[in-house]
């Protein structure tokens, strides 16, 4: 993979919310020891051989040739890696779960029973997309052409967007076979053009049964010890033939032992380690608990609705899994922010930064009032958060409301178009309208949708009077306020046409003009809400816009204060994190060992619930004599999962865990509960990541899935 280094543009403002491959541009001091999510451009400054790496660094990352980096792919929101020269990709079970759900039915329930294509001809195409980074280029000067510090936030964004679109158009003409994306690496400072090879023919190959791949369910999610085989296989195709990658990983079936050096390559998502302390307060006290509580309400509602109905359970399985994963993650973040000193340390740093700004006339002239203004804006966000979050969720979660709001917005747009031209206008914009309409128009059941709207309005009724929306006060009736709300919503849904998705989509497809003219009970309410919600959203956007303008200066203050030891946040670009297989003490008096074993599955197994194991799989676990190299000789049992002190976050799901020789010894899939705070802070004492051990991957493939053709493709010998 040819990676092009940055050239620093002539820009003065600095922010590193999403600074990715560019540390070499700045005069950075040695990396802070508590940071472990390294950029490719930093690897030359690391002594990985001293830590335990046994291969040359050029075999890990080589900007002028082929290296392990070339085996990595972005697989939608996950990471994957090539493990054969025929495009076979290993990733997580939970990353392929949606693909398995999409082809499942009551008759062929691949979620519960697993999926295996005995031949390539039986591999099933999915909606997944695979991106392979080909190169990147600094385009800061071009993106910021014409931008100056006096511009209003919205005008600046418009110009940046226009410049970016022009660059993408130009690059796409030069490289028509590649997809171009410009990422904001640092707000107001650095912008990068990424060139990707995109493969859209990704086929499902093997997904273990749910009782194996998701053993422990939500009970064990985000915790250690773990005993699930969170892996799956897909295959990339190009021109209807298996894709031949530049590089694929070699599997080491012997695994690791405690304290062995390991490293992970992948595409970690956003981290927020350099935000102001008020941002963390905002997250801890408002955003995280709201979303966690709301998602849990939706999960319970869907589970009650789908109970004892397999077709319904399949329909909502992937959505529930996603909501539950986020909810528990956010609970962990809340706990971490409350149990650690992260926010207190940020607050103390905030005060030191204020003093630092006043320490010289030059700093005062450039940065006076920046920190104080950011604090003021976040205080406003915090004070209005409960109202803003609830109102915003109306269009996000309530499908009928979203649909009504969408129809209202289309009709508003038609006002300025002559009546004779409206039908032609609608047809011309049909595809864009379809995308906007279907974005949040998903109704599993009208009663569920009604429950969401009722819950949101009832929660709004509990707000203090100064925050209570006016549209809520207009809901009147003969009973108390909450009963009036329930009756009002019941009346809306009783007469609603939009609650019938089948008929609604038929009308949309057959007669767009009639679709936008339909008489729907929800339309008037949605219009009433929209008038007020627009004001809230505009005010929030304005506050956030002001914060965005100030953040480059805030980050510049931090960089000057720390004299170059600043390490940037992750942003979905290629990273390396390294460390060792290692246990830890999550709390006083408790020590967690770094491996789990097959015996632990037998201890947990139940006849129902999250730890359910069907009889045939349970019997396999009990009776099969596993191959010798799959067994840890110290405990005489098959190794299932491993724990390591690496720095991972969202997006690292499916990342390969590699040994000192660069061979695959596991697949990263989770963090310990104490490490969910990684997005905000990382610490070796409590941050631990979790992977499924390659020995259990091979065990499941051999004895549960009977996937001998894939084992042969991996060139693994037992």
Domains defined along the chain, listed by start: 23-30+63-242 (no CATH), 261-273+569-704 (2.40.10.10), 277-557 (no CATH)
The pLDDT, as a whole number, for residue 454 is 97
Reported as a single tens digit per residue, the pLDDT across 433-464 is: 999 998 889 888 999 999 999 999 999 999 99
Which of 22-36, 38-52, 234-248, 571-585 has the lowest average pLDDT? 22-36
pLDDT value, residue 327: 92
Rank 27-36, 210-219, 241-250 by mean pLDDT and report only the highest: 241-250
Q: Which residue has the higher pLDDT, 118 or 339?
A: 118
Which has the closest alpha carbon to 202: 287, 117, 327?
117
Token reading at 151? 């511009």
pLDDT at 6: 25
pLDDT band at 188 (very low <50, low <70, confident <90, very high): low
Dist CA 598 CA 17 (whole Å): 42
Q: Which residues contact 561 (CB under 8 A, 6 or more apart)?
A: 352, 353, 356
Place 19 in a pLDDT band, splitting at 50, 70 and 90: very low
Contact indicator for 646, 36 with CB cutoff of 8 Å: yes
Comparing 363 with 12, the larger pLDDT belongs to 363
Phi and psi at residue 572, to the nearest 5° = 85, 10
Cα maximum dimension of the chain: 81
Q: Which DSSP category does 284 fall into?
A: I
- Segment 363-378 shows an average pLDDT of 95
Determine how β-strand 130-138 pairs with β-strand 190-199. Answer: antiparallel
Say what the pLDDT of residue 2 is.
34
- Amino acid 566: pLDDT: 59
Mean pLDDT is lowest, of 242-246, 484-488, 585-589, 623-627, for: 585-589
Q: String of b and e for 212-238 (b: at least 16 CB within 10 Å)?
A: bbbbbbeebbbbbbbbbbbbbbbbbbe
Say how far apart CA 478 and CA 615 lie, in whole Å: 58
Its sign, for the CA torsion 39, 40, 43, 45, is negative
- Please state the rounded mean pLDDT for residues 273-296: 93
Cα separation, 84 vs 12, whole angstroms: 46
Asked whether residue 646 carries a pLDDT value surpassing 50, the answer given is yes
Does 35 score more than 60 pLDDT?
no
The SS3 assignment for 153 reads helix
Mean pLDDT across 301-310:
92
Report the SS3 class of residue 204. Answer: strand
Query: H or E stretch including 165?
Result: helix 153-174
Give the SS3 label for residue 682: coil
- Please report, rounded to a whole number, the percentage of residues in the chain having pLDDT higher than 90: 69
Burial class (CB in 10 A: 0-12, 13-18, 19+), 382: middle
Instruction: Identify the three-state secondary structure at position 209.
Output: coil
Supply angle C-alpha 673, 677, 678, rounded to 5.
105
Mean pLDDT within 97-110: 90
Of 276, 465, 470, residue with least CA distance to 381: 276
Q: What percent of the chain lies above the pLDDT cut of 70?
A: 94
pLDDT tops 60 at residue 29: no
Q: List the single range of 233-237, 554-558, 649-653, 700-704 with lowest mean pLDDT.
A: 554-558
Output the pLDDT for position 567: 61
Strand partners, 236: 202
Please answer whether residues 460 and 469 qualify as being in contact, where contact means their C-beta atoms are separated by less than 8 angstroms: yes
Q: How far is it, in rounded angstroms, from Cα 688 to Cα 684? A: 8
Residue 338: pLDDT over 70: yes
Asked if residue 381 has pLDDT above 60, the reply is: yes
Q: Mean pLDDT across the stretch 590-599?
A: 94
What's phi and psi for 578, nearest 5 deg? -135, 160
Burial class (CB in 10 A: 0-12, 13-18, 19+), 326: middle
Check whether 558 has a pLDDT greater than 90: no
Of 241, 215, 265, which Cα lies nearest the Cα of 79?
265
Q: Which three-class secondary structure state does DSSP give residue 64? A: coil
Q: How high is the pLDDT of residue 186?
A: 63
Q: Determine the pLDDT at residue 626.
A: 94
pLDDT of residue 341: 83
Q: Give the pLDDT mean for 17-40.
A: 42
Residue 698 · residue 664 · CB < 8 Å: no
Do you find a cis peptide bond into 670, omega within 30 degrees of 0? no
Q: Is-contact 695 287, C-beta < 8 A?
A: no
Q: Would the pLDDT of 8 be above 90?
A: no
Q: What mean pLDDT is predicted for residues 13-19? A: 26
Structure tokens belonging to residue 565: 């030891």
Q: What six digits make up the tokens of 333?
A: 């973040």
Alpha helices per DSSP H over 340-438: 342-357, 361-367, 370-397, 399-414, 419-428, 430-438
> DSSP letter at 584?
B
Cα atoms found within 13 Å of the Cα of residue 509, Cβ hemisphere only: 7
- How many CB atoms are located within 10 Å of the residue 391 CB? 20
Res. 208: pLDDT tops 90: yes
Q: Is the separation of the CB atoms in 577 and 646 below 8 Å?
A: yes
Tokens representing 580 are 């060792």
Instruction: State the average pLDDT over residues 630-655.
Output: 94
- 109 CB neighbour count, 10 Å cutoff: 20
Model pLDDT, residue 5: 29
Stretch 311-317: mean pLDDT, rounded? 90
């Amino acid at each position: 993979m040819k990676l092009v280094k940055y050239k620093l543009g002539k820009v003065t403002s600095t922010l590193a919310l999403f600074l990715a491959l560019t540390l070499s541009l700045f005069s950075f001091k040695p990396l802070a020891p508590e940071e472990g999510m390294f950029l490719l451009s930093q690897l030359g400054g690391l002594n990985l051989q001293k830590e335990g790496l046994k291969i040359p660094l050029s075999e890990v990352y080589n900007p002028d040739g082929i290296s392990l980096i070339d085996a990595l792919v972005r697989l939608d929101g996950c990471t994957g890696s090539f493990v054969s020269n025929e495009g076979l990709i290993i990733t997580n079970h939970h990353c392929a779960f949606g693909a398995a759900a999409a082809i499942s039915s009551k008759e062929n329930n691949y979620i519960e029973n697993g999926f295996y294509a005995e031949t390539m001809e039986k591999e099933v195409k999915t909606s997944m997309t695979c991106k392979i980074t080909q190169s990147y280029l600094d385009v800061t000067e071009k993106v910021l052409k014409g931008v100056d510090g006096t511009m209003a936030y919205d005008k600046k964004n418009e110009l940046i967007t226009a410049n970016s679109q022009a660059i993408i158009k130009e690059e796409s003409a030069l490289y028509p076979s590649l997809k171009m994306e410009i990422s904001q690496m640092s707000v107001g400072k650095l912008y990068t053009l990424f060139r990707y090879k995109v493969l859209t023919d990704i086929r499902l190959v093997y997904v273990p049964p749910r009782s194996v791949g998701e053993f422990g369910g939500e009970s064990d999610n985000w915790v250690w010890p773990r005993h699930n085989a969170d892996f799956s296989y897909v295959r990339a195709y190009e021109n209807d033939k298996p894709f031949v990658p530049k590089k694929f990983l070699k599997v080491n079936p012997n695994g690791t032992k405690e304290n062995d050096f390991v490293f992970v390559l992948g595409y970690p998502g956003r981290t927020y380690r350099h935000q102001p302390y008020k941002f963390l307060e905002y997250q801890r006290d408002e955003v995280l608990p709201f979303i966690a509580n709301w998602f849990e309400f939706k999960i319970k509602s869907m589970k009650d609705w789908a109970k004892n109905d397999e077709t319904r359970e399949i329909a909502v399985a992937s959505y529930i899994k996603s909501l539950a994963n986020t909810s528990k993650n956010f609970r962990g973040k809340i706990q971490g922010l409350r149990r650690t000193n992260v926010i207190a340390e940020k607050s103390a740093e905030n005060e030191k930064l204020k003093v630092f700004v006043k320490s010289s006339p030059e700093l005062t002239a450039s940065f006076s009032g920046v920190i104080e203004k950011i604090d003021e804006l976040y205080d406003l966000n915090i004070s209005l958060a409960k109202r803003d979050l609830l109102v915003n969720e109306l269009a996000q979660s309530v499908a009928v409301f979203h649909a009504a709001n969408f129809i209202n917005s289309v009709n508003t747009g038609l006002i300025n178009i002559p009546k004779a031209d409206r039908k032609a206008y609608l047809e011309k914009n049909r595809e864009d309208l379809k995308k906007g309409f279907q974005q949040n128009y998903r109704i599993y059941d009208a009663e569920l949708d009604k429950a969401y709207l009722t819950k949101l309005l009832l929660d709004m009724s509990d707000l203090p009077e100064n925050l209570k929306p006016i549209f809520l006060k207009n809901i009147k009736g003969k009973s108390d306020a909450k009963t009036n709300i329930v009756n009002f919503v019941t009346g809306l849904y009783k007469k609603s046409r939009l609650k019938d998705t089948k008929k609604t989509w038929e009308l949309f497809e057959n007669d767009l003009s009639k679709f936008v003219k339909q008489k729907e009970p929800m339309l008037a309410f949605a219009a009433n809400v929209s008038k007020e919600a627009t004001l809230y959203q505009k005010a929030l956007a304005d506050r956030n816009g002001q914060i965005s303008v100030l953040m480059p200066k805030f980050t510049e203050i931090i960089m000057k204060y720390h004299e170059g030891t600043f390490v940037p946040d992750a942003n979905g670009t290629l990273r390396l994190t390294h460390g060792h297989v290692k246990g830890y003490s999550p709390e006083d008096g408790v020590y967690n060992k770094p491996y789990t074993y097959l015996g632990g599955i037998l201890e947990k197994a139940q006849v129902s619930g999250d730890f359910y194991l069907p009889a045939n799989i349970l019997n396999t676990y009990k009776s099969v004599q596993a191959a010798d190299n799959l067994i840890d000789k110290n405990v005489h049992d098959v190794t299932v999962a491993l724990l390591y002190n690496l720095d991972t976050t969202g997006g690292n799901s499916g990342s390969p865990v590699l040994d000192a020789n660069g061979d695959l010894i596991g697949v990263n899939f989770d963090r310990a509960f104490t490490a969910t705070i990684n997005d905000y802070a990382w610490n070796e004492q409590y941050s631990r990541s979790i992977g499924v051990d390659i020995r259990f991957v091979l065990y499941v493939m051999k004895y549960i899935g009977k996937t001998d053709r894939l084992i042969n493709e991996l060139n693994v010998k037992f």
